[in-house]
A and B are shown apart, each in its own frame.
Chain A
Amino acid sequence: MLRPLPLLTTLVLVGPVLFGLIGSILPASGLLMQSAETPFATALSWPGLPRALAISILSGVLSTLGALAVATLILAGWHGTRAFAVLERALSPLLAVPHAAAALGLAFLVSPSGWIFRIPANLLGWDRAPDLLILGDPWGLSLTAGLIAKETPFLLLMMLAAMGQADAGPRMAIARSLGQGRVAAWLKAVFPTIYAQVRLPVLVVLVFGMTNVDVAIILGPSTPTTLAVQVTRWMTDPDLAARAVAAAGGLILFAATLAVLALWWLGERAIGSVGRAWVWSGIGLPDRAARGVGLTLAGGSAAMVLAGLAALAVWSVAARWAFPDMLPEALTWRSWMRFGPDMAQTALTTLGLAVTATAVSLLLVIGCLEAEVRHGLSLGQRALWLLYLPLLVPQVTFLPGLQLLPLTLGIGPSIWLVLAGHIVFVLPYVFLSLQGPFRAWDGRLARVAAGLGTSQNRVLWRLRLPMLVSPVLTAVAVGMAVSIGQYLTTLLLGGGRVTTLVTEAVALSSGGDRRAIGVWGLGQAVAALLPFALALGVPAIVFRNRRGLRHV
């Protein structure tokens, strides 16, 4: 029964991407749309291209390096301490916060008229905000900072999920006994194993950083924008020929992504050999400084995002609130009365989609992994890359083409298509979250059980899955957060008819009504937060008397 599952899963993932790519390549080469003559030449001659591409690459690479460094430092320096437990509790909810909401909160916080600048404004009596270019700086540094703050919790959670299998305790003990400091010991003895497990999530972060649209619109530069934002603009240009240019732009971005991925791979090699030399050299690290930097950066970014969310919460109940007041003149429930009922209804659709997409994905993923165990039907390393295609091919490259595919089959936009689209993106994340812990589960337990006469099904249900309940729930929470955050997928495959919390929030963000954004942003954050609360809470309760399974 399990045998067809790996193939089916691969097809579900790869089919849409391939069709989407074809749907982009044809118009980009001037085949599908007659009105566009030379889409590639037009895209290449766009005067902002070098700069836009540079910002895309810069913000993608820097934000990935930054998020990886912060997550690593905090895990290396503080794992197992009380400070870490506090920080983990503060960071995990941030993962669930929708990108757009987090970015809008941050924007209010750091802009020259925002909360931070209002402190000196009140002390020094400014009645006008200083004219400083903080948001949307030409090199995308605020964009990079915002992405780091948002991606650190994701990588941290992924690394934590891998920790259970990393054998960190004994390795640390040996490294420490050889005179290594805490951070150096972790980096030398534990990090290589962890990185091997979270490598694909890191690459996904890299691709997302280079190609995201919603964060870049809010925090990124506008003269010019990142290439992904410009592609979206072309896609929505009144001049219909621009759609073909958008397809070409999407493919250029795709090529750049491939090049960066290749460079990253080379970088991994280089750092691998340098690191090996470092391990053998026995040279340590300034432990105290490294721990301090890690805690400051992680704590700082958590504090910023949380303060941004607090700002959104205050805006959602604010009456008149002008510069330089720290708080609104009065509080009112008017915004919640006005937008709340609509939001509750949309939240139901959103959660319904998220639960269904995650359930289907989880079934496929566990089926695949179990087929691997029972029948040796491994997807193999190359097929595995195909599996991550939907995450590694930029959404702006293949979604427009994907919108055309169902139409050619006579299928109009519908909630079922949106669900199918969500599965395409949720499945890889569930797979990413679960495969490491699932494969790393100690197979000797299964052999012992089989030796005692236990069937394979019983091993799965009574032994493997219960022991893996923590990573399974993490995978569910990640899957739901991904579904809840799907913007372009929902918009394009639903033809705009399927509204979820994120499509509403992004539609509102162009209008800049902070009160409405506050209500919708908080609603989305809460919707995505619940599964994470469960992922943390359930294992703690189930394993209250199983210390070794708690991994935390």
Chain B
Amino acid sequence: MRFALTLLAALALPTLSPAQTQPDPADWPAVTAQADGQTVYWHAWGGSTATNDFIGWVADRAGEMGVDLRHVKLTDTADAVGVVVNELQAGVTEGGSVDMIWINGANFASMKRENLLFGPFAEQLPNWRYVDVDGKGVLTDFTVPTEGFESPWAMAQLVFVHDSARVETPPTSAAKLLEWAQANPGRFTYPQPPDFLGTTFLKQMLIELTDDPARLSEPVGDDYDDVTFILWDYLDQLQPLLWRQGRAYPESGPRQFQLINDGEVDIAISFSPGEATTAIGNFELPESVRTYVLDGGTIGNASFVAIPVNANAKAGAMVVADILLSPEAQARAQDPAVLGYGTVLDMAKLSPEDRAVFDALDLGIATLTPTQLGTALPEPHPTWATRLADDWVARYGVAD
């Protein structure tokens, strides 16, 4: 046995770098100096080819600063959380393998609660001065204060995607959606919770249906059944009218786009207002597809990047987080030909030249203007997402 261990050990060359001094976010020149030559492993969801291409572009920018950015493509953000947890369990408190995570919501809440994050660093980043701190709600993440432990890089808002060639007047409320489904059985579905988009649909419907949306900003309590009763009642009516009578669900957001393109459903949901336009450009959706929001507004939130407490290249990761906040990167992310993500920056804080770049963006045929999107509704406390997803699985996710 010992022999096998030695063999394993011999095969694995030592890869952990020697301990480095913790970078001080306030001393930015020192951060960039330390970052030069570092390799940053950014663990980010790899399911969208448009996002992957954008991260590749960010890597080119990072290369100019001497930072070698590598995209570790995840199928689920929790994988990265798991790596950090495992490493810390094994006593790897420095030189860990995850340098940066694309994160928000429950993953952030749990990492912050367990003290798995490095920081605070976000508000010391040079480009933080452009961030729309008041208007975009980037100081909280699903009601949990970010406190500088994660840096925002994109805004997301729930939009409904429909094929205008098949749906003339799309349903703009929970009640209308049910009516529409009754008239068009089998033509709507949503990603299967606990997929984050599917769970967001549950939260959106709960906000639509409940009398007291403000209750959702507090953690789940004993009144959970009373608050959510109306949602389950609604879903019980909706389920048999779904695609495949609710006996199967698409596993992710982009998979629904495939279903629209395949003529299997007519309405889908997306958490990125520009995603549909980008998908049309990539031949993934018919040209007749448009987006809309509900009459009462839809949920919005920010995407963040965070640095694990045992990250190997914290300085490099901060440099990348800062690049993500740069007007150049933000304008590129908002370009529907690239990504179509909303910016986290405040136009009023930008220089006229930078603002002109944003103004010149053609948002595309299927993207709503900020006015049409309206003010995003706040995310409920993360405990609701977890509880709703668990409950959904118990009710609809295990058959019989």
A interface residues (Cβ-Cβ under 8 A, vs B): 8, 11-12, 14-16, 18, 32-33, 46-48, 51-52, 111-113, 127-129, 131-133, 135-136, 138, 217, 221-224, 233, 235-240, 243, 318-324, 338-339, 403-414, 416-417, 419-420, 491, 495-497, 499, 503-504, 506-508, 510-516
Would A324 and B75 count as touching, CB distance under 8 A?
Answer: no
Stretch at the interface among B23-31, B246-254, B323-331, B352-360: B246-254
- Report whether B72 and A404 are in contact in the complex, using a CB–CB cutoff of 8 Å: no
Task: Tell me if B370 is interfacial: C-beta within 8 Å of chain A.
Answer: no
In the complex, besides A235-B82, A243-B85, 5 extra interface pairs with C-beta distance below 8 angstroms are A16-B4, A238-B107, A323-B261, A504-B46, A510-B252
B377 within 8 A of partner (CB): no
Residue among A11, A238, A506, A514 making CB contact with B4, cutoff 8 Å:
A11
Q: Establish whether residues B1 and A15, one from each chain, have CB atoms under 8 Å apart when the complex forms.
A: yes
Indicate if B222 sits at the interface (CB-CB under 8 A).
no
A511 near B254 with CB under 8 A, answer: yes
A8–B77 Cα distance when bound, in Å, is 38
**Contact indicator A513/B254 (Cβ below 8 Å):** yes
In the assembled complex, 16 residue pairs joining A and B whose CB atoms fall closer than 8 Å, in A order, are: A11-B4, A18-B1, A113-B263, A127-B263, A129-B264, A131-B244, A223-B192, A238-B78, A320-B283, A409-B9, A411-B15, A412-B92, A419-B11, A510-B252, A511-B46, A512-B257
CB pair B11–A417 under 8 Å, yes or no, is: yes
Complex contacts, B369 vs chain A, CB 8 Å? none
Q: How far, in Å, is A164 (CB) from chain B's closest CB?
A: 34
B43 at the interface (CB under 8 A from A): yes
- Whether the Cβ atoms of A414 and B264 lie closer than 8 Å is no
Q: Is the CB of B263 within 8 A of A507?
A: no
Stretch at the interface among B230-238, B300-308, B339-347, B391-399: B391-399
Whole-angstrom distance between the alpha carbons of A16 and B185 in the complex?
Answer: 52
Contact in complex: B90, A496 (CB < 8 Å)? no
Annotate B254-271 by CB proximity to A: 1 below 8 A, 0 otherwise: 110111011110000000
Set of chain B residues within 8 Å of A323, measured between Cβ atoms: 261-264
| A136 surroundings in chain B (CB, below 8 A) | 244, 248
Inter-subunit contact A516/B49 (CB<8 Å): yes
> Would A319 and B283 count as touching, CB distance under 8 A?
yes
CB distance from B105 to the nearest CB of A (A): 8
Q: Which of B66-91 contact A (CB under 8 A)?
A: 70, 72-83, 85-87, 89-91
Question: Binary interface profile of B, 380-399, with partner A (CB < 8 Å = 1, else 0)?
Answer: 00000010000001101111
Query: Which residues of A lie under 8 Å from residue B97 when comparing CB positions?
Result: 412-413, 495-497
Q: Is B183 an interface residue (CB 8 A)?
A: no
> In the complex, what residue of chain B is closest to A408 when comparing beta carbons?
B90
CB-CB under 8 A for A497 and B47, given A129-B263, A129-B264: no
Nearest first, the 5 A-B pairs at minimum CB distance are: A323-B263, A511-B47, A48-B398, A15-B4, A407-B90
How far apart sit A96 and B291, CA to CA, in the bound complex (Å)?
42
Report yes or no: A496 in contact with B247, Cβ–Cβ below 8 A: no
Instruction: Flag if A514 contacts B283 (CB, 8 Å).
Output: no
Q: What 0/1 pattern do residues 172 to 195 of B give for CB contact below 8 A with A? A: 000000000000011100001010
B85 touches A406 (CB 8 A): no
Residues in B with CB closer than 8 Å to A18 are: 1
Q: Which of A411, A510, A516 has the most CB of B within 10 A?
A: A510
User: Which residue of the partner chain, among A127, A403, A497, A511, contacts B72 with CB atoms under 8 Å?
Assistant: A497
Q: State the CA gap A413–B5 with chains docked (Å).
A: 15
Bound-complex Cα distance A42 to B76 (A): 22
Q: Check B262–A322 contact: CB distance below 8 A.
A: yes
Q: Are B49 and A508 touching (Cβ within 8 A)? A: yes
Residues from chain B with a CB closer than 8 A to the CB of A111 are: 262
The residue on B at minimum CB distance from A217 is B251
Are A131 and B243 in contact, with the CB atoms below 8 A?
Answer: yes
Q: Please name all residues of chain B whose beta carbon is closer than 8 Å to the beta carbon of A514 when the two chains form the complex.
A: 258
**Would B8 and A406 count as touching, CB distance under 8 A?**
yes
**Least Cβ–Cβ distance between B154 and chain A, in angstroms:** 17
